[in-house]
Amino acid sequence: MQDTMMKVPLSLNHLLERAGKLFHGGQIVSRLPDKSYKRHAYGEFYRRARALGAALQGLGLQKGDRVATLCWNHHAHLECYFGIPAAGGVMHTLNLRLAPEEIGWIAADAQDRFLVIDDVLLPLYEKFKHLHAFERVIVFPFSGASVPAGFTGYEALLAGADPDGFAYAPHEEDDPVAMCYTSGTTGQPKGVVYSHRSTVLHSLAACMPDYNSARNTDVVLPVTPMFHANSWGMPYIAVMVGAKLVFPGPHLHPDDLLDLMTQEPPTLSLGVPTIWMTMIQTYEASLKPGSPNQGRWKLPAGMRSTVGGAAVPESLIRAFDRHGIWIMHGWGMTETSPVGTLSYPIAALQNASADEKYRRAALAGLPAPLVELRVRGDDGRDQPWDGKSAGELQVRGPFITGGYHGIGSPPDKFTADGWLRTGDVVTVDELGFTRISDRTKDLIKSGGEWISSVELENTLMAHPAVAEAAVIAIPDEKWSERPLACVAFKPGEQATPGELNEFLLAKGFVKWQLPERYEFIDAVPRTSTGKFWKLKLREQFPQ
Ligand code: ADP
């Protein structure tokens, strides 16, 4: 007998089995294309996920084969999250917001064998199918219509499979379960592959009380798409604890999200800041006398919400807090599973002023358990954690990727001693709170000094007239680069460049840091994952 603990491999299948045994009455609610609701119990989810596993094995799925999904957030996508790995396959989420050529390129690069697709997305499939031949296309009748000829029906496939006789594919804990491509905002998309082990460890770490703290009694609303870094791991976490899940389907407009939050009030939600910004502006506008939406919505007071993937302005945290909703700001990447850091209240700040607490809440926060971080200066040395010394954020840990599909670990992405180079410029303070200043590519170098675009943006977005602001560098003969601020106002509001500069000066910026120029635009362009798309702005305003 060995004299320490058992060597039981970590496995995603354990989470599915646990859910089937313990939480069969738990609820899964999905919003359908016609905005009605489909309700499932966890018991049904358990049987259907295993039926999917059995069906895929019946189709000849071999261990390690990639099965792509092109789906919104809903119960069948959740079944793929567990059913595909259960059969030994690798679930590869395709991002439906990418250009068709990019989707086709990614499917070919991953050599996806099968595709599971929502019927409402078949027109998109038609646009990229010439770029990659899937052996079989399985159509989920999300709209309720019958499955067109020439495709395999998802429901028929499940109905013909036996969940009781299903046997999990044999596996080791380092075997792959899922795959997601980086969105390619800063280069060619690259495939990140998650394992049983990394997914289970990430679920445990990201579910800590100081992080997502999902519990069985929670009602979880994942607004982050299941094709964007696995909806930040929330589908796995929710199933691990048996929380009620509410999926928004294709309806992500702020009006629809507010309707959903009013009808199925969540206690925990997650999404990128751009969505949360428009949601709070829409909600607050509805409270004004004479609004056509007056009384239509109720924000779920007491809800916790993880917001990240891009910088979260302090003004956003304050705005939600006014309505009893606590925003937890986190940093992560597709490469980090994705939770890397998160800002949460710590004992050392218990007696701090409210302003100081908000200030810290707006930082990217402390590394998750099992995540190590360091800040590397241009000279290759570790920077001190003093809140001032900036450098590249580098991370390491058991749920951080060690390489990319088919590429390995190129030196621009990994250091010689095996840390991931994030390309983010950060400072870390004496309490371990990380501040993301910029991506390396977004920093503005003016007269030998760095200006953080993120700090300018966040402060501009605290101006009462400003809905959105994105700051980019423009070339300058004298200073090499200067900041250009692209600003979108709230409906009916306006401000002059002079007024905006006055506001920035009052908030502590000094003159040379002020934007050289302002461009007033209708809205900041978004990337496929809903973040501000600075590349587009740089193309639009090259001078
Ligand atoms: P992509 O790199 O293609 O946008 P990811 O979703 O993996 O795809 O994005 C990771 C990047 O998003 C990080 O490297 C960082 O630049 C940015 N990011 C993530 N969270 C934050 C945050 N809280 N604050 C600022 N930037 C963030």
DSSP 346: -
Q: Are 444 and 450 in contact (CB under 8 A)?
A: yes
Q: For a pocket test of ligand 1, which of 413, 424, 528 has the largest count of ligand atoms closer than 8 A to its C-beta?
A: 424
Q: Are 263 and 314 in contact (CB under 8 A)?
A: no
- Tokens standing for 283? 């909600």
Strand 66-70's sheet: what is its strand order? 152-153, 136-140, 114-118, 66-70, 90-93, 176-181, 191-195
In the prediction, which pLDDT does 254 show?
A: 96
- The per-residue pLDDT of the chain, averaged, comes to 95
Q: What pLDDT digit, counting tens, does each position of 295-346 carry?
A: 999 999 999 999 999 999 999 999 999 999 999 999 999 999 999 999 999 9
Task: Name every protein residue with a CB atom under 6 angstroms from any ligand 1 atom.
Answer: 182-186, 229, 308-311, 329-334, 364, 422-424, 436, 439, 529, 531
- Tokens standing for 181? 């491509």
Q: For a pocket test of ligand 1, which of 331, 394, 404, 452 has the largest count of ligand atoms closer than 8 A to its C-beta?
A: 331
In the prediction, which pLDDT does 529 show?
A: 84
Burial of 203 (0-12, 13-18, 19+ CB in 10 A): buried
**Given the structure tokens 């840091």, which residue do they identify?**
513
Distance CA 270, CA 401 (A): 23
In the prediction, which pLDDT does 407 show?
A: 94
In the prediction, which pLDDT does 443 show?
A: 82
Nearest to 9, CA basis, from 163, 165, 167, 195: 195
Distance CA 264, CA 300 (A): 9
Please, which residues have CB within 8 angstroms of residue 211's CB and are 6 or more apart in sequence?
A: 205, 306, 328, 330, 339, 342, 344, 368
Predicted model pTM:
0.93
In the prediction, which pLDDT does 464 show?
A: 94
Low-confidence ranges of the chain (pLDDT < 50): none
Nearest to 400, CA basis, from 214, 201, 225: 201
Distance CA 117, CA 202 (A): 27
Distance CA 302, CA 294 (A): 22
In the prediction, which pLDDT does 448 show?
A: 78
Q: Residue 311 CA: which ligand 1 atom is closest?
A: 24
